[in-house]
Structure 1
Amino acid sequence: MAADKTVVPAVIVGGGRVGRALHDMGSGEDVLIKRGESFPHDFKVPILVCTRNDDLEAVLHSTPKSRWSDLVFFQNGMLEPWFENKGLGNADQVLAYFAVSKLGEPPVDGITDANPEGLTAVYGKWASAVAARLRARGLSCKVLDKDAFQKQMLEKLIWICAFMLVGARHPGATVGAVEKEYRSEVSALISELAAAAAEEKGIVFEEAMEDRLCAYSRAVSHFPTAVKEFKWRNGWFYSLTEKAIAEGKQDPCPLHTTWLQELKIV
């Protein structure tokens, strides 16, 4: 790719598929940091974090505290409890609905028949700079306020928790197979998780969530399914279950709990 001088330079933490793709989108002035490499203290630019969720603690410890407000998190899953614990309540986040199939390959936008305008979204201090970087390479990206972003973040969380759990019940099932062959199962789970999330966060989701999530599944139908990063994904919904039971209330996610137990995940 040719360098684009209109793109704001960045520090990119993580040399995997997404980190490399973001670096390739840059102006030629980016600094790419891999595991164990030192942080450039005097480079006052956004810090794009493209590591695994379980590496976030190490990333935070290696970043000068004065620069924490410049961190932009590209991770999937429920990060809000971790953000609050670290005093990062207004942290920049990106919902990346683009896929990079192999290291060094260009990203493919997650455009669906339900959302032809694209689904990738960003929130926070550096939102416009991140959106400009993605758009310069032909990818869609919406800049949202915090409330709108939270709703979309929860939708993506529901997608990954529902489709991965249903797929895990049917060994070998891809995301596309779940959408096509096990639609009733995933539909019931989406409804349950959406109701629990709406109640917990005091929000109202836009109508037709199931249609949007199934459309995305058709767009990434080849993705394999597995329940991973439990703490950051299904674990958040299971924490709602544990809290309700401890308070003598009904489980808000009984189907989710039953299937987690069936697979001996809890």
Structure 2
Amino acid sequence: MATLSTSSLLWIHSPKPISPKLALFTATRFFTPKKSSSIVMAAPPATTATEVVPAIIVGGGRVGKALQDMGKGDDLLVKRGEAVPLDFEGPILVCTRNDDLEAVLEATPKSRWNADLVFFQNGMLEPWLQSKGLNDAEQVLAYFAVAKLGEPPIDGKTDTNPEGLTAAYGKWASAIATRLNAGGLSCKVLDKEAFQKQMLEKLIWICAFMLVGARHPGATVGVAEKEYRSEVSSLIAELASAAAAEKGITFEEAMEDRLCAYSRAVAHFPTAVKEFKWRNGWFYSISEKAIAEGKPDPCPLHTAWLKELNVV
């Protein structure tokens, strides 16, 4: 992949160090064999640009511009401070930074919140979404890279997932997949349970790889995967166990392989613990809750390394 930015690689990385990602877990009670039934449908390649549903695109950065370029010229780009119209039908693709989401809601007619908003952000959005009454919010896990504004995106395909990792969930998921296909990108349409598992895997990847890399100044994602694999593996196991227990889910087997393969695909990404509230902060809150209840910290390595770096 090209040089990325966390804001432009949804998973998207930016020239600035942006966030964490990760790699392993083998305790069988947290995994089940991979099931193709979790995929509601595999989006077929778009045949013509006319199939792309017009959309409102909120955010004119790398990702927003790339999505606009995949359309047929009838999308509406909404920039910072502008209102989202009530009468423009279709999905509302939110491509802003996480900390701008409050402003996006304020600028969007409430009647469209649950009906049309589609969130492209990285990290754990669930607590925030639920606090806004968006319990069934539509989301996209974007594993593609946009190196520079206006350049075509690069698909985040890996040696373990050559079909691509990008996934969408919700009413507009098929329309999103068609748009991405028109831009030469892959996209799976998943049901809610399958999407949540993949979202958590990506969160673990971000949190684990960024934290391990940050412990070793100058380490890229690739260096963390190659030279500090044991640290990454231990942290992934810890975070996967905590996430599985917290959400009452069972992850599919070979998580470490999938996440390390993605790390090799984006090996040059810098590492740094960023957007704590939306990423590592979710796991740290699980630790705090357990400790407050007199229970052992379910993520002791994670907590210790955050303290080592003065993040908490």
**TM-superposed deviation, 1:38:** 2.7
Contact kept in structure 1, 2:85 and 2:108, CA below 8 Å: no
**Alignment correspondent of 2:38:** none
User: What do the CA deviations read for 1:182-235 (whole angstroms, capped 9, x no partner)?
Assistant: 101001000000000000000000011011000000001111111000000000
CA distance in 2, matches of 1:19, 1:97: 14
Residue 214 of structure 1 is matched in structure 2 by 260
Bigger RCO of structures 1 and 2 (CA < 8 A, at least 6 apart): 2
Letter in 1 for 2:187: C
> Which position in structure 1 is the counterpart of 2:148?
102
Q: Following the alignment from structure 2 to structure 1, what is the Cα–Cα distance between the partners of residues 232 and 244?
A: 18
Letter aligned with residue 112 of structure 1: T
- 1:161 alignment partner in structure 2: 207
In structure 1, the residue matched to 2:195 is: 149
- Shift in Å, 1:41: 2.0
Give 1:40 shift: 2.2
Q: Provide structure 1 residue ranges, at least 5 long, that are not aligned to the other structure.
A: none
Task: Report % sequence identity.
Answer: 81
1:39, CA displacement in angstroms?
2.1
Q: Normalising by structure 1, what TM-score?
A: 0.98
How do residues 32-181 of structure 1 correspond to structure 2 at under 5 angstroms? Answer: 32-69=77-114, 70-181=116-227
- Partner residue of 2:64? 19
Secondary structure of the residue aligned to 1:260 is helix
Deviations 1:128-171 (A, max 9, x none): 00010001122110000000000000000000000000010011
1:203 and 1:38 mapped to 2: Cα distance? 38
Q: Deviations over 1:88-128 (max 9, x none)?
A: 00000000000101111100000000101100000001000
C-alpha distance in structure 2 between counterparts of 1:38 and 1:195, whole Å: 42
> Does residue 223 of structure 1 match 2:269?
yes
Runs of 4+ in 1 over 6 A off after TM superposition: none
Alpha-carbon contact 2:58-2:94 (below 8 Å) kept: yes
Aligned length: 264
SS at match of 1:223: coil
Q: TM-score, normalised by structure 2?
A: 0.84
Shift of residue 44, structure 1, vs aligned partner: 1.3
Counterpart-to-counterpart distance in 2, 1:159 and 1:220: 12
